[in-house]
Amino acid sequence: MPVASMRRYGWLSKESRGNALADELLRFFGCSNLKDWGIRYSNGVGAVAFKTSLAFEADAMATLVWLRAGEQQADELPLPKFDRTAFVNQLPALKKLSAFKHPKIYFVKLQAACQAVGVALTSARAPEGCRASGASWLNARGNPVIHLSFRHLSEDHVWFAFFHEAAHIVFHGESHIDVDLTDPTLFGSVEQEKEADEFAQETLVPREILSGLMQGPITARAVMSAARQANVTAGIIVGQLQKAKIIPHGKLPFLKHRYRWSVDSSIPELSQPRKYS
């Protein structure tokens, strides 16, 4: 278990050792004993976590702990029955929330919008050894859960991760753990990942806007104009251009909002803007 990370994030007490530590770990997972833990996590997201580790050399226990942090949050959210049609219909409008540059502001609004249609949106810092960007699964009540890690601590990545996982819910309805937004399970479908990518890309920045941007020099002014057309931030446009390898990762970095972890292990804070001469 990634005990050091769990203590640092406040999920375990700092002084527990031996049997006391074992008891704390079992309580974190909502289990009474090791047999109960084995039964509970031998299938579902537990099974996916272990398949992940086999395929991508990710730490299965660290991934499982990260997933459990999402399970705990999802269990505390009162959810109506999942309304798939309402979820699909509201997705294009949700990207407008990116205008709130502080993640602690937009995440709460995004979570409330998802909750209203029966989807639990959760987030947690990934423990050391967990490389997941996002995950999606159905909980015991049949409600979808989208769990994000804020991996890479940049706005473009987290918004793409959200829509990528939303696509898995809408089109695939299975458990997914995405490492850098590819499903690393041994049984993952390349076609499903491609479909989720295309949905996220098209929802965030429609191809006609991206194509129009590419007709001339890709400057900060041109990117900001495209962002207004797409109803997203300029940083999301830059991320899409980088993902498509249209511009290098070092170009226009000042247009992206970046984050940093502080005391809260669920949602990071906005970093201080970088200064340029």
Percent of the chain, pLDDT > 90?
78
Q: Is the pLDDT of residue 226 over 50?
A: yes
Neighbours of 248 (CB within 10 A): 9
- Whether 183 shows a pLDDT value over 70: the answer reads no
So what's the pLDDT on residue 185? 60
Place of tokens 């909002």: 257
CB 98 within 8 A of CB 237: no
pLDDT at 43: 86
Q: Give the C-alpha separation, 151 to 242, whole Å.
A: 17
Percent of the chain with pLDDT over 70: 95
With 60 as the cut, is the pLDDT of residue 261 above it? yes
Three-class SS state of 138 = strand
- Reading phi first (left if > 0) and then psi (alpha if -120 to 50, else beta), residue 15 is in alpha
pLDDT of 276: 41
Least confident range from 4-13, 30-39, 44-53, 121-130: namely: 44-53
Given a cut of 60, whether residue 96 has pLDDT beyond it is yes
Domain extent listing, the chain: 41-270
| Tokens linked to 201 | 């890309």
Beta strand 144-148 with 120-123: parallel, antiparallel or unpaired?
parallel
Q: What is the pLDDT of residues 26-67, one digit of tens each?
A: 999 999 999 999 999 988 889 888 888 877 778 999 999 999
Is-contact 256 239, C-beta < 8 A? yes
* CB neighbour list of residue 62: distance below 8 Å, 6 or more residues apart: 2, 5, 126, 127, 128, 129, 130
How high does pLDDT run on average in the chain? 91
pTM of the model: 0.93
